[in-house]
Amino acid sequence: MNNMTKLSILIPLLSMFAFSSFGATKSDSLTAVNMPYYSNEIMQSNIYIKQRAVLDVYCPNSEQLLPTIVWFHGSGLTSGQKYIPSALKQQSVCVVAPNYRLFPKVKSPTYLKDAAAAVAWTFNNIENYGGDKSQIFLSGHSAGGYLASMVGLDKRWLAAHNIDANTLAGLIPFSGHTITHFTVRKEMGIAGTRPIIDKLAPLYHVRSDAPPLLLITGDREKEMLGRYEENAYMMRMMKVAGHKQTQLLELDGYGHNIKAPAFPLLLNEVARLTKSSNDE
């Protein structure tokens, strides 16, 4: 039995143990819907930003501040809607789910500016809902994973909000591009089969001092357009650069849609990193 087969078997078990160290939470929760994450002046600048630059918040009631996961939806930067994953509810974590503007109504780097603004809002507001701003994790699937990696690795996006990306507790993208996103390449007239690594690629921003990074992909034979291989290269280059906490998990037998088996791994990693931080 290979390691990835073992991992596939262990996934259901991980969901049973994730966050046991935080204790049970009450069944009710504090939520907010369609919260604007830009200033009122920016939100009123046009109808589209008013529609899309909003986020939802979910925090189960707890006697202590909880780790927070900012969850970016996928769908290629061209479609999709924010949602609170049911697998993350009642798991002793807060979840912030932003919308962001989409191609073709906007072009790069607007997606990244929106994602960073949503993360900045989380730093500035999550403690009002019961989340711990010192334990903010970025995650998302596919395009959402790309946004999580870019905001966490390219420090300029959060720096625009006077936030150091190194204060993030961890980055946990699901099946995200580490090369330049194919929609961004499409904007430039570049075919999806031609890999590009420029400033809009997470791989361009490899650095030793980045937050802990857990890359999760589907099976290399079933994933989309070499997604496993580019994540494997990301892992290798982060380690070459001297980063001490980069991991790659390949989910054997799964294709691009790995959310169901990956959520327990996300929770387990957040629990591990939070415990490590609390022990320091």
What tokens does 136 get? Answer: 């903010």
Those residues whose C-beta lies under 8 Å from the C-beta of residue 235, and which sit 6 or more positions away, are 215, 246, 247, 248
Burial of 279 (0-12, 13-18, 19+ CB in 10 A): exposed
Tokens 């380690």 found at: 239
Tokens 């994933």 found at: 223
What tokens does 54 get? Answer: 């909003």
Provide the residue type at 95 as one letter.
V
Those residues whose C-beta lies under 8 Å from the C-beta of residue 28, and which sit 6 or more positions away, are 60, 61
d(CA 24, CA 137): 21
Closest CA to 93 of 113, 70, 116: 70
Strands (E), 64-114: 66-72, 94-98
- For the chain, residues with pLDDT lower than 50 are 1-6, 8-27
Q: Phi/psi of residue 194, each to 5°?
A: -105, 105
Annotated domain spans of the chain: 3-18+29-279
Tokens 């830009």 found at: 38
Those residues whose C-beta lies under 8 Å from the C-beta of residue 68, and which sit 6 or more positions away, are 93, 94, 95, 96, 122, 126, 131, 132, 133, 135, 136, 137
DSSP 194-231: S---STTSGGGG--TTSPPEEEEEE-TTTSSTTHHHHH
- Classified by CATH at the fold level, domain 3-18+29-279 comes out as Rossmann fold (3.40.50)
What tokens does 102 get? Answer: 């989409």
